[in-house]
Amino acid sequence: MAKELNAEEPTSRLDYGIILSVMLLALVGMAAIYMSIVHAGTASPMRALIMQAVWYIIGGVGIAIVIQFDAEQLWRIAPVLYGIGIFLLIAVLFLYDRNVAASTGAKSWFKFGPITFQPSEVMKPAYILMLGRAVTQHNTEYQHSVKNDWRLLGTMLLWTLPVVALMLLQKDLGTTLVFLAIFSGVVLVSGITWKIIAPVAGVAAAVGGSAILLVTQSWGRQLLSTVGFKAYQFARIDSWLNPSGNTTGDSFQLWQSMKAIGSGQLTGKGFNHLQVVVPVQESDMVFSAIGEAFGFIGAAGLILLYFLLIYQMIRVIFDTKNEFYAYITTGVIMMIVFHVFENIGMNIGLLPLTGIPLPFISQGGSFLLANMLSVGLVLSMRYHHTSYMFSQEQEGFQ
């Protein structure tokens, strides 16, 4: 009997549902990148596929390393990883790629020869770990009350504000919103009372709504300009509010994306039969390639794959019942969900363009690596929980 248990251990410790979902997303991503680059004719599609495959291999190695760390080890290294992430975010303000900054305005990329790297992507899993540790530690030491919940919210903000401030200094609003989404998700499951969450969320919604209204007024634009809004940000909101207003200028990218998705209709035009030109289609606008090639059915199938991945992650939380891991997985889920919602939303005109890529699909090495490492954190839960349960079963049998 003991030998039978040992034979089952290796397969039971890995969550193949999550692994399969990521592999299917990878296949869709490789196909979409290939179609986009062939259609654009601006680069070598095979070179792009090889580079993306290399990053997937690096990410796979990263997952294999991450799952070796159990909850206790992740707890200990969380502050170290957070500190390294903060250091990189500071360093990139001085050592950023000048060419990228000149074209996008963002000081958020390192350049090492032909390779560019975005340190904020490394910061995402580190921030998730640190936030999970902070919430778990607080809930262990304090009972929930309005006073203690304010203390918890303050603690979470202490770990969040340095990251947000550095991202704003890099002029990367899109990634800033990702960190705020992670923060919001962990707040919702941290046990903080709705007496605090409801008014804070109301104030945030009021501020966001007021900002959009101010954009529509000339005096409002002047006011927003004084607090740091840039011309390209106004242009993105203008194109979102009126996508058909300037289809040869600021609204061109959004208008072309909507045209491509609409032209795919129900079943699409088929693999590698793209016709509509969409700028940066292999990265931020990759969903438009999927919509045009595979139609509504293909786009819906992609969303279903994301749903299955998120479902598998949520199931791990309920199976393992570990508070620290639960906050980590919540952060990972919120990161992925926000990216999916924002990217697809901006491709179809539901949300403003923000430069948010699509997880496991869009071209980009550092972004893909961050997603793979984050998935590794979730796989670590199942890996070590099943190992623990297996050892308990063996002791009971003996």
Q: What is the mean pLDDT of the chain?
A: 87
Q: Where are the beta strands (DSSP E) in the chain?
A: 110-112, 115-117
Whether residue 398 is predicted with pLDDT greater than 70 in this model: the reply is no
pLDDT digits (tens, 9 = 90+) for 316-328: 888 888 899 999 9
Whether residue 303 is predicted with pLDDT greater than 90 in this model: the reply is yes
Query: Poorest-confidence range of 62-76, 230-244, 345-359?
Result: 230-244
What is the per-residue pLDDT for 244? Answer: 79
Whether residue 261 is predicted with pLDDT greater than 50 in this model: the reply is yes
Residue 116, SS3?
A: strand
> Which residues touch 41 (CB under 8 Å, ≥6 apart)?
none
pTM beyond 0.75, yes or no? yes
Are the C-beta atoms of residues 110 and 119 closer than 8 Å to each other? yes
CA dihedral (319, 136, 82, 384) in degrees, to 10, reads -30
CA dihedral (335, 341, 345, 350) in degrees, to 10, reads -110
What is the per-residue pLDDT for 43? Answer: 81
Whether residue 113 is predicted with pLDDT greater than 80 in this model: the reply is no
What is the per-residue pLDDT for 388? Answer: 46
